[in-house]
Amino acid sequence: MLEDAASRRSLIEAVAQDVIDHAEELTALDQAVGDGDHGVNMKRGAEAVLADIDALAEKTLPEALKAIGMALVMKVGGASGPLYGTFFMTLGKSLPEKPNSTDTVAAFDAALQAVMARGKSHPGQKTMLDVLAPALEQLKNDPSPSEALCVAAAEAAEATIPMRAERGRASFLGERSIGHMDPGARSSSLMITKASKILEG
């Protein structure tokens, strides 16, 4: 899997299209706790990726991930652009061309650490990290793309609802951030779930 351009194209296209298809939902979540641009931001990044899909699919997996990360930094903007950009660029830097499951877990771990450093944040603060960290734990239990991974990501996004935001714009709301799902947690859950389903085949 992912050793030929066609399979890389299928994966990248499916994840980008799913982000675009959920832009309104992500915007609505960000209207509740932020400035209402997360859907538009992520859609702009996903459209830039789709516009470059031929070139991206021809690259090796690590090079494609690095290029996706750079596109997200340039196009998504906001807080999430540099953070997702860091995530994908670090995945690309950490993965070999033909990763085994150990490589995949190690690369996901490195990417998570890089986002934490970049965001000066850690899990528990009602951010994308509250999905990315549980996803890593699930991958440590079972590194294959699986229904369990999709469930873990979705449950982790739900679990941000009662949390109080301590990073990003939502933190300005203090107690009033409680009771809403974090937009970045939702976008992380979407991307992990779609990638897992495509990779499961």
Can residue 35 be called a binding residue for Mg ion (CB under 5 A)?
yes
User: Taking each helix axis from N to C terminus, what angle separates 23-33 and 38-51, rounded to the nearest 10 degrees?
Assistant: 150
Euclidean distance between CA atoms 182 and 165, whole angstroms = 8
Can residue 177 be called a binding residue for ligand ADP (CB under 6 A)?
no
Can residue 129 be called a binding residue for ligand ADP (CB under 6 A)?
yes
Can residue 23 be called a binding residue for ligand ADP (CB under 6 A)?
no
Local structure of 145: helix, strand or coil: coil
Euclidean distance between CA atoms 82 and 89, whole angstroms = 10
CB of 41 to ligand ADP, least distance (A): 4
Residue-level length of the chain: 201
Can residue 78 be called a binding residue for ligand ADP (CB under 6 A)?
yes
Euclidean distance between CA atoms 30 and 13, whole angstroms = 24
CB of 173 to ligand ADP, least distance (A): 12
CB of 175 to Mg ion, least distance (A): 19
Euclidean distance between CA atoms 53 and 184, whole angstroms = 24
Can residue 189 be called a binding residue for ligand ADP (CB under 6 A)?
no
CB of 158 to Mg ion, least distance (A): 20
Euclidean distance between CA atoms 152 and 16, whole angstroms = 21
Euclidean distance between CA atoms 108 and 52, whole angstroms = 24
How many residues make contact with ligand ADP (CB under 6 A)?
23
List interacting residues with Mg ion (CB under 5 A). Answer: 30, 34-35, 37-38
The residues that touch ligand ADP, with contacts defined as CB under 6 A, are: 30, 34-35, 37-38, 41, 78-80, 83, 119-121, 127-129, 167-169, 182-185
